[in-house]
Structure 1
Amino acid sequence: MDEQRKKGLEKMNEVYGWEMPNIEGDPYFDLTVDHLFGSIWTRPGLSMRDKRLLTLAAVTAQGRQDLGEVQVNAALFNEEFTEEELKEVAIFLTQYVGFPLGSGLNGTVSKVVAKRRKAAEKGAGEDKRANVNAAVKMNTGTSLDDE
């Protein structure tokens, strides 16, 4: 594994809070890991919290609740935001992206918080394979279970 791939995977794991496997031979995954996480997310100038906030704003504006769920879960896992702060982000964004999209983020925050509480009550923690599988599917169109 070259240094750019290693740097990208390390940052991707930090951003999402799980261990992403190195997937060889998929040009889209290569671009995501090597460029997005290896070059963009590692740039100085913005904090991880700033980058997460911008990403939440972008995916909310696009109506991508599936991507919002990944980001909200990672923001809580990495303790970048509290539940209350994420609810405030939804209220604020609603004024710029409209009620349907802003309420979608609000609902996503509630959904993620409920799942995390349920898992904590069971003592199970997060289902990291499900999170990794979602990210792999998002980036490659296939899941780990398809292998």
Structure 2
Amino acid sequence: MLRRDPIDFLNLIWSDEAVQKISKNTYLITRSKIAQSKENLKPHSRLRKWSSPSKAVTRRLMGVVRLPSITDYWSSNNVLCIPVIREVMSRDKFLLLYWNLHVADPLPDNVSNPSKSYKIQLILDHMNGRSQELREMGQSIAVDETMVKCKGRIGFRQYNPK
């Protein structure tokens, strides 16, 4: 049996082009945010330390295990401690990238009302394309199209017969 590590699956799903695009969009939007608030930034603001995220750094952030709180990543508590994250990137670098990660291209000035899925459209397109490429037709594939009743506001109609 072929041994697979979690990083192999992350690399399989997220191509270099998609990660590069996310890194580029993050850089462009954060640069514009810094330019707009340059005179209002405090002297020790984390944004002053901003540098362009590489593909490797973006992949590291995308591969992080989700914890209940951001501060838990650097906790000294043995239950919550994940030392790999501390070894891979500093806290300030992690927080800068975490707070400023942008998937969508910057909006042109002439677009006032983008679609509701604009901010995640790159992810949707990429995941649809990758799932089509990686799908093996020989396997048993089950699609569950059930819908859960939702009392919140959503942007589309649901049909849930009893």
How high is the TM-score relative to the length of structure 2? 0.24
Q: Which has the higher contact order (CA 8 A, sep 6+)?
A: 2
Bigger radius of gyration: 2
Q: What is the TM-score of this pair, normalised by structure 1?
A: 0.26
